[in-house]
Amino acid sequence: MITPVLDIRDLGISFGGLKAVDQVSFQAQRHKITTVIGPNGAGKSTLFNLISGALKPHRGQVMIDGVDMTGAAPEHTKAAGLSRSFQITSLFPELTVAENIRLAAQVLETARRAFLPISRSARAMSKTSQMLERFQLTHRRDELAGNLSHGDQRRLEIAVCLASEPKILLLDEPTQGMSHGDTADTAKLVRSLTEDVTVLLIEHDIGLVMDLSDYVVVMHQGRKLAEGHPDVVRADPAVQAAYFGHH
């Protein structure tokens, strides 16, 4: 049997009595796009925080590629191969676009190189150039990340996540605040990512979710309401009541 690259088992956390995430279990299959959907306050971002180590779960397990990473610090889940983006763009605004990517890519280098000039980190450097090209940011490479347009910042954020060659990519609303055209481009981009990584996505744009996802997990009030193929989930009456009913 193949181990799933991400295995969430009975995950839960509560804040002062409120169960923000409760008994959530699902698996993400390699090189597929698994999307978590649900109305506002369903616990999607909290779930991402639990998986990436930003929060420690009160119960349950997070297995990354067969290794138990429950409650591990973010730098450790990162080392285990998990990279994440943030709903509110979190870059290094005072550093250049290239440096934002290079900082993420330098984990690819051996420890010995940590104390050699960055120009000697050939692998991180070439990875940076590669990412700049792939995300069409090469012409902006020396601009400060804080000066980019919103859409470019969102793309840079994905580039930063991908630069460290993770196994799993957690993308928290990558199309948030984007224009219609940019959203379509981003969707194409996310689809292309599955060549290298497994994608776990939070997304609000239902049309996009249905087109893009291989698997959908629906959350409602901290719990998993349904999961399955997009078409199956869409047809689920409970989901329709809880989620699509609002739209």
Partner 1 sequence: MHDRLTQSMRASHLLALLFVLVSIGLAAMGAATGDTFYLRLGTEALIFAGLALSVDLLLGYSGALSLGQALYFGIGAYVSALTLMKVPSFWLAMGAALAATLVAAIIGGLIANRVRGVYFALITFGLAQVMAKVVYNTRELGASDGMIGIPVIEIGLGPFSVSAANPAGFFLLVLAFIMGLYALTAYLLDTPFGRVLTALKANERRVPFLGYSVWQARMAAYVLAGLIAGLSGALYPMLRGFVSPELMFFATSGNAVISVVLGGVGTLIGAIYGSVLLVILKSIIGSWTEHHLIVIGLLFMLCVMFLPKGLAGLVRPRIEVLLNRRTQTPPASAEPAGLSPIAVKSGSVS
The residues that touch partner 1, with contacts defined as CB under 8 A, are 52-54, 73-75, 78-79, 83-84, 90-96, 98-99, 102-104, 106-107, 109, 113-119, 121, 124-125, 128-129, 132-133, 136, 138-143, 160, 164
The least distance separating partner 1 from the CB of residue 52, rounded to whole angstroms, comes to 7
State the amino acid at position 232 in one-letter form.
V
H or E element at residue 143: none
Nearer to partner 1, 44 or 102 (CB): 102
Q: Which is nearer to partner 1, 141 or 223 (CB)?
A: 141
Q: Considering the complex, what minimum distance in angstroms separates the CB of residue 46 from partner 1?
A: 16
Return d(Cα 176, Cα 86) in angstroms, integer.
10
d(CA 23, CA 222): 8
Q: Which is nearer to partner 1, 42 or 98 (CB)?
A: 98
Tell me the DSSP string of 109-138. S-GGGGGS-GGG-HHHHHHHHHHHHHTT-G
Of 75 and 211, CB closest to partner 1 = 75
Shortest distance, CB of residue 95 to partner 1, whole angstroms? 5
> Measured from the CB of residue 198, what is the shortest distance to partner 1 in angstroms?
17
| Residue 161 Cβ vs partner 1, minimum distance, rounded to whole Å | 8
Question: 8 CB contacts (<8 Å, ≥6 apart)?
Answer: 24, 25, 26, 27, 47, 51, 60, 61, 62, 63
- Report which residue type is found at 245: G
Residue 40 or 110: the one with the smaller Cβ distance to partner 1 is: 110
By C-beta, is 170 or 239 nearer to partner 1?
170
Q: In angstroms, how far is the first alpha carbon of the chain from the final one? A: 40
C-alpha distances in Å from residue 139, one per residue of 33, 135, 149, 192, 225: 30, 11, 14, 22, 45
CB of 56 to partner 1, least distance (A): 13
Q: At what angle do helices 180-193 and 150-163 cross, to 10 degrees?
A: 10
